[in-house]
Structure 1
Amino acid sequence: MLRIMHVLDALGNPVRRAILQELRAGPRAVGDIASGLPISRPAVSRHLRVLEDAGLVQAREEGARNIYSIRMQGFASVRDFVDDFWDTALARLEELARQ
């Protein structure tokens, strides 16, 4: 699947991070997510679309509502990115220990 926005770019927005925090408790409808945030329901929908394009959330239809949930596989590239830094840091630490 082609990603329109890179995961790290999507996570760079504080509203999108707040939406992900809201979804940590479990799947929720757009209106439920919006009720916990200081932005409008249409704005939440736009942010959810970005998160979905980045592979961080997924939606399923339930009647007339879309229910969003976190897509844990979407965070793999974030983990890989951070792990690359740890590998470098550990290699430097090992080199210092040898000296």
Structure 2
Amino acid sequence: MPYEDQFSALSHPLRQNILHLLTRAPASVGDLTDQLDASQPVVSQHLKVLREAGLIRVTPDGMRRIYRIETDSLEALRHYLQQHWLAALGDLGPKD
């Protein structure tokens, strides 16, 4: 499966919450920790998984690292899912 890493990364609820927060605005680990019920080391580990799956990217900003959504990867994943969704809908059509 071409998107196995992305699906695996998205399978954890905390990573889903992190991704949701990052859709609102880029954030540092500290910013995310303040908004989540998790410690900084836990948030950092989940950010690493999301980054390695290509769903987010990190850029330095002075002493902080800012995490952002990787829009190209999410768009590719959306397109992949849409293809399967449309194929499944087509299978529901009338049978001759």
TM range, smaller chain: 0.7 to 0.9
Which residue does 2:36 correspond to in 1?
A: 37
Q: Quick one: distance in 2 between partners of 1:30 and 1:36?
A: 10
Q: Is the 8 A contact 1:34 1:41 kept in 2?
A: yes
Q: Could you list the structure 1 runs, at least 4 aligned residues long, displaced by more than 3 angstroms after superposition.
A: none
Which residue does 1:10 correspond to in 2?
A: 9
Which residue does 1:21 correspond to in 2?
A: 20
Give the structure-1-normalised TM-score: 0.83
Which residue does 1:67 correspond to in 2?
A: 66
Unaligned stretches of 5+ in structure 1? none
**Higher Cα radius of gyration:** 1
Which residue does 1:83 correspond to in 2?
A: 82
Give the structure-2-normalised TM-score: 0.85
Unaligned stretches of 5+ in structure 2? none
Query: How many residue pairs end up in the alignment?
Result: 93
Deviation of the 1:77 alpha carbon = 4.4
Structure 1 residue identity aligned to 2:66: I
Deviation of the 1:49 alpha carbon = 0.6
Percentage of pairs with the same residue = 35
Q: Is the 8 A contact 1:61 1:67 kept in 2?
A: yes
Q: Cα RMSD between the aligned structures? A: 1.7
Q: Is the 8 A contact 1:30 1:44 kept in 2?
A: yes
Q: Quick one: distance in 1 between partners of 2:83 and 2:24?
A: 29
Deviations 1:13-54 (A, max 9, x none): 000000011111111111000101111011111100110000
Structure 2 residue identity aligned to 1:79: R
Q: Quick one: distance in 1 between partners of 2:31 and 2:22?
A: 10
1:53-64 correspondence to structure 2 within 5 Å? 53-64=52-63
